[in-house]
Chains A and B, each alone.
Chain A
Amino acid sequence: AQKITQTQPGMFVQEKEAVTLDCTYDTSDQSYGLFWYKQPSSGEMIFLIYQGSYDEQNATEGRYSLNFQKARKSANLVISASQLGDSAMYFCAMREDGNNRLAFGKGNQVVVIP
């Protein structure tokens, strides 16, 4: 069964605008962690932000914030004030308790246009 679902088609975003990338997950664990990674065309995977299942506040890292809705099992990434360098694939991932591997979604393609 797919643990991470990212279903949005490729997105075009105007520079300086905000964009929200959807991620839903499936787990029966109470303790887990959610991650977002960015993969530009160069191929490297860049860690962006982390949300723990017991964290009461939504995570923020600079222009990145995570809209965590535990009851709905969603962990959407919000990128504010988009920049041309934000053009990339974005992957949502989950690590379940007692398991160090990451389960990744299929990714969201974002293209920022000037």
Chain B
Amino acid sequence: GAGVSQSPSNKVTEKGKDVELRCDPISGHTALYWYRQSLGQGLEFLIYFQGNSAPDKSGLPSDRFSAERTGGSVSTLTIQRTQQEDSAVYLCASSQVRGSHNEQFFGPGTRLTVL
């Protein structure tokens, strides 16, 4: 079956511009996560969606970052007024909450470069 997909795969933008990153989770997965991976670093949690519950936004680094999930499926991560420190790979993951260990399946990521 199809895995997690993300678009675009690469995004180059100018400082101050807004960007939108898209994530299509695995069909039937109720949980969706966004992480950020800066060069040579581990993954940093950004936000988590579970069903119709209020999202866990505790990892968002500033109010320039926001995300939504429409219809319990596709999610969009928006970064407003991008800064150079926002350059990173943005990874989306999904999981079934019910299960022995709720393994998260990751997408290929969007590489964001802010000039």
B65 at interface by CB-CB < 8 Å:
no
Which A residues touch B50, using CB under 8 A?
100
Which B residues touch A102, using CB under 8 A?
33, 35, 43, 45, 104
Q: In chain A, residues 81-114, which have Cβ atoms closer than 8 Å to a Cβ of chain B?
A: 91, 93, 95, 100-107
Question: How far does the Cβ of A101 sit from chain B's closest Cβ, in whole Å?
Answer: 4
Query: Contact at A104–B106, with CB atoms within 8 Å?
Result: no
Question: How far does the Cβ of A77 sit from chain B's closest Cβ, in whole Å?
Answer: 15
Q: How far is the CA of A45 from the CA of B91 in the complex (A)?
A: 9
Query: Contact at B106–A106, with CB atoms within 8 Å?
Result: no
B19 at interface by CB-CB < 8 Å:
no
B109 at interface by CB-CB < 8 Å:
yes
**Residue B43 contacts which of A33, A42, A100, A104 (CB distance < 8 angstroms)?**
A104
Which of B20-28, B72-80, B95-103 touches A? B95-103
Which A residues touch B43, using CB under 8 A?
45, 91, 93, 102, 104
Which B residues touch A105, using CB under 8 A?
42
Q: How far is the CA of A37 from the CA of B104 in the complex (A)?
A: 10
**Binary per-residue interface labels of chain A (12-54) against chain B in the complex, 1 for a CB within 8 Å, 0 otherwise:** 0000000000000000000001010100001111110010100
- A residues engaging B (CB < 8 A)? 4, 33, 35, 37, 42-47, 50, 52, 91, 93, 95, 100-107
Beyond A42-B108, A46-B106, A101-B59, 15 extra complex contacts between A and B, CB < 8 Å: A35-B101, A35-B103, A43-B109, A43-B111, A44-B107, A45-B93, A47-B105, A50-B100, A91-B43, A100-B31, A100-B56, A100-B102, A101-B45, A104-B44, A106-B41
